[in-house]
Amino acid sequence: MKSSKLFGISAFAVLATIISCKPKGTETAVSGDAAEKVYVAPGKYDEIYNFVSGGFNGQMNVYGLPSGRLLKVVPIFSVNPENGYGFNEETKPMLETSHGFIPWDDQHHLELSQTNGEQDGRWIFANANNTPRVARVNLKTFRTEEIIELPNSAGNHSSPFITENTEYVVAGTRFAVPTDDMNGDVPINSFKQNFKGVISFIGVNKDSGDMDLRFQIEAPGVNFDLSHAGKGKSHGWFFFSCYNSEQANSLLEVNASQNDKDFIMAVNWKKAEEYLKAGKGRKVKTQYAHNKFDESTQTATSKMEQEVTVLSAKELKDICYFMPTPKSPHGCDVDPTGEYIVGSGKLAALIPVHSFTKMLKAIKNKEFAGEYDGIPILKYESTLYGEVQKPGLGPLHTEFDGKGNAYTSFFVSSEVVKWDIKSLKVLDRQPTFYSVGHLMVVGGDTKKPFGKYLVAYNKITKDRFLPTGPELTQSAQLFDISGDKMKLLLDFPTFGEPHYAQAMPASLIKDKQLKFYKIADNKHPYATKGEAESKVVRQGNKVHVYMTSIRSHFAPDNIEGIKVGDEVYFHVTNLEQDWDVPHGFAIKGNQNAELLIMPGETCTLKWIPKKAGMFPMYCTDFCSALHQEMQGYVRVSPAGSSTPLTYSNKKGQFLLSFFFIKSKN
Contact positions vs ligand K7E (CB under 6 A): 108-109, 157, 226, 330, 396-397, 437-438, 499-500
DSSP state of 177: B
Between 213 and 575, name the residue whose CB sits nearer to ligand CUA.
575
Based on CB atoms, which residue is closest to ligand CUA, 266 or 596? 596
Name the segment binding ligand CUA (CB under 6 A); options: 50-58, 240-248, 363-371, 621-629.
Answer: 621-629
Residue 205, H or E segment: none
Among 527, 619, 636, 645, binds ligand CUA (CB under 6 A): 619
Q: Which does 109 bind (CB under 5 to 8 A by kind): ligand K7E, ligand CUA, none?
A: ligand K7E
Q: Supply φ then ψ for residue 364, to 5 degrees.
A: -60, -45
- In degrees and rounded to multiples of 5, residue 236 shows phi and psi of 110, -10
Q: Which does 499 bind (CB under 5 to 8 A by kind): ligand K7E, ligand CUA, none?
A: ligand K7E
Task: Name the binder of 354 from ligand K7E, ligand CUA, none, CB < 5-8 A by kind.
Answer: none
Closest separation in Å from C-beta 533 to ligand CUA:
19
Closer to ligand K7E by CB, 161 or 569: give it.
161
For the window 624-653, what string marks contact with ligand CUA as x by the rule CB under 6 A? Answer: ---x--x-----------------------
Q: Give the C-alpha separation, 380 to 358, whole Å.
A: 11
Smallest gap from Cβ 608 to ligand CUA, in A, equals: 24
**What is the Cα–Cα distance from 592 to 534, expressed in whole angstroms?**
24
What is the contact mask toward ligand CUA in residues 570 to 609, using x (rule: CB under 6 A)? Answer: -------------x--------------------------
Q: Which is nearer to ligand CUA, 429 or 571 (CB)?
A: 571
Q: Which residue is nearest to ligand K7E (CB)?
A: 437
The item of ligand CUA, ligand K7E, none sharing an interface with residue 630, based on CB under 5 to 8 Å by kind, is: ligand CUA
Task: Indicate which of ligand CUA, ligand K7E, none lies near residue 235 (CB less than 5 to 8 Å, by partner kind).
Answer: none
Q: Which of ligand K7E, ligand CUA, none does 12 bind, CB closer than 5 to 8 A by kind? A: none
Partner interacting with residue 437 (select from ligand CUA, ligand K7E, none; CB below 5-8 Å by kind): ligand K7E
Region from 85-93, 320-328, 383-391, 614-622 binding ligand CUA, contact rule CB under 6 A: 614-622
Give strand ranges (E) for 319-400.
320-326, 329-334, 340-345, 350-355, 368-372, 375-378, 384-389, 395-400
How far, in Å, are 38, 90, 558, 589 from residue 69 at the CA level? 10, 30, 42, 35
Footprint of ligand CUA on 532-571 (CB under 6 A): 549
Nearer to ligand CUA, 357 or 624 (CB): 624
CA–CA gap between residue 193 and residue 220 (Å, rounded): 10
Question: Counting Cβ atoms within 10 Å, is residue 345 exposed (0-12), middle (13-18) or buried (19+)?
Answer: buried
Q: Does 354 bind ligand CUA (CB under 6 A)?
A: no
* Shortest spacing between CB 550 and ligand CUA, in angstroms: 8
Residue 622: name its binding partner from ligand CUA, ligand K7E, none (Cβ under 5 to 8 Å by kind). ligand CUA
Q: Which residues pair with 290 in a beta bridge?
A: 148, 303
Q: What is the largest CA-CA distance in the chain?
A: 87
The answer to whether the CB of 229 falls within 8 A of the CB of 267 is no
Rounded to whole angstroms, the Cα distance separating 528 from 547 reads 7
Give strand pairing partners of 101.
Answer: 96
The angle subtended at Cα 230 by Cα 363 and Cα 407, nearest 5°, is 115
Q: Nearest approach, Cβ of 273 to ligand CUA (angstroms)?
A: 52
Shortest distance (Å) from residue 56 CB to ligand K7E: 11
For the chain, count helices (H), then strands (E).
Answer: 8, 46
What Å distances lie between residue 231 and 126, 261, 380, 452, CA to CA?
20, 25, 22, 21
Under a CB-based contact definition with an 8 Å cutoff, are residues 109 and 623 in contact?
A: no
Task: Choose the contact partner of 290 out of ligand CUA, ligand K7E, none; CB within 5 to 8 A by kind.
Answer: none
Tell me the DSSP string of 517-571.
--GGG---TT---SGGG-EEEEETTEEEEEEEEETTEEES-EEEEEETT-EEEEE
Q: Are 122 and 508 in contact (CB under 8 A)?
A: no
Shortest Cβ distance from residue 50 to ligand K7E (Å)? 16
Q: Which of 160/582 has CB closer to ligand K7E? A: 160
Residue 82, interface with ligand CUA (CB under 6 A)? no
Are 142 and 247 in contact by the 8 Å Cβ rule? The answer is no
Which partner, ligand CUA, ligand K7E, none, binds residue 222 by CB below 5 to 8 Å per kind?
none
Report whether the peptide linkage leading into residue 556 is cis, meaning its omega lies within 30 degrees of zero.
yes
Cβ atoms 221, 191 nearer than 8 A: yes
Query: Which one of ligand K7E, ligand CUA, none interacts with residue 108, CB within 5 to 8 A by kind?
Result: ligand K7E
Between 480 and 557, name the residue whose CB sits nearer to ligand CUA. 557
Among residues 340, 66, 151, the alpha carbon closest in space to that of 230 is found at 340
Q: Name the burial class of residue 585, with classes exposed (0-12), middle (13-18) and buried (19+) by CB atoms within 10 angstroms of its CB.
A: buried
To the nearest whole angstrom, how small is the minimum distance from the Cβ of residue 142 to ligand CUA?
21
Min dist CB 650 to ligand CUA, Å, is: 15
Among ligand CUA, ligand K7E, none, residue 627 binds (CB under 5-8 Å by kind): ligand CUA
Nearest approach, Cβ of residue 594 and ligand CUA (Å): 11
Give CA–CA dist 599/292, Å, rounded.
21
Least separation in angstroms between CB 460 and ligand K7E = 12
65 in contact with ligand CUA (CB under 6 A) = no
First and final C-alpha spacing in the chain? 76
Q: Which residue from 202, 349, 593, 623 is in contact with ligand CUA, where contact means CB under 6 A?
A: 623
Q: Is it true that the peptide bond before 434 is cis, omega within 30 degrees of 0?
A: yes
To ligand CUA, the closest distance from the beta carbon of 660 in angstroms equals 30
Distance from C-alpha of 474 to C-alpha of 460, rounded to nearest angstrom:
6
Cβ closest to ligand K7E, residue 59 vs residue 528: 59
Cα gap 455→65, rounded to integer Å? 10
**Binding of residue 621 to ligand CUA (CB under 6 A):** yes
At its nearest, how many Å lie between ligand K7E and the CB of residue 157? Answer: 6
Residue 396 interacting partner from ligand K7E, ligand CUA, none (CB closer than 5 to 8 Å by kind):
ligand K7E
Whether the Cβ atoms of residue 541 and residue 618 lie closer than 8 Å to each other: no
Number of residues that bind ligand CUA (CB under 6 A): 8
Rounded to the nearest whole angstrom, what is the least distance from the CB of residue 127 to ligand K7E in the complex?
A: 9
- Closest-CA residue to 437 (of 511, 358, 494, 504): 494
DSSP H or E run through 7: helix 2-21
Residues 576, 551 contacting (CB under 8 angstroms): yes
CA distances from 8 to 236, 314, 357, 399, 630 (A): 41, 39, 35, 27, 67
Q: Least distance in Å: CB of 161 to ligand K7E?
A: 11
Nearer to ligand CUA, 88 or 97 (CB): 88
Nearer to ligand CUA, 624 or 646 (CB): 624
The residue ranges that bind ligand CUA (CB under 6 A) are 549, 583, 619, 621-623, 627, 630
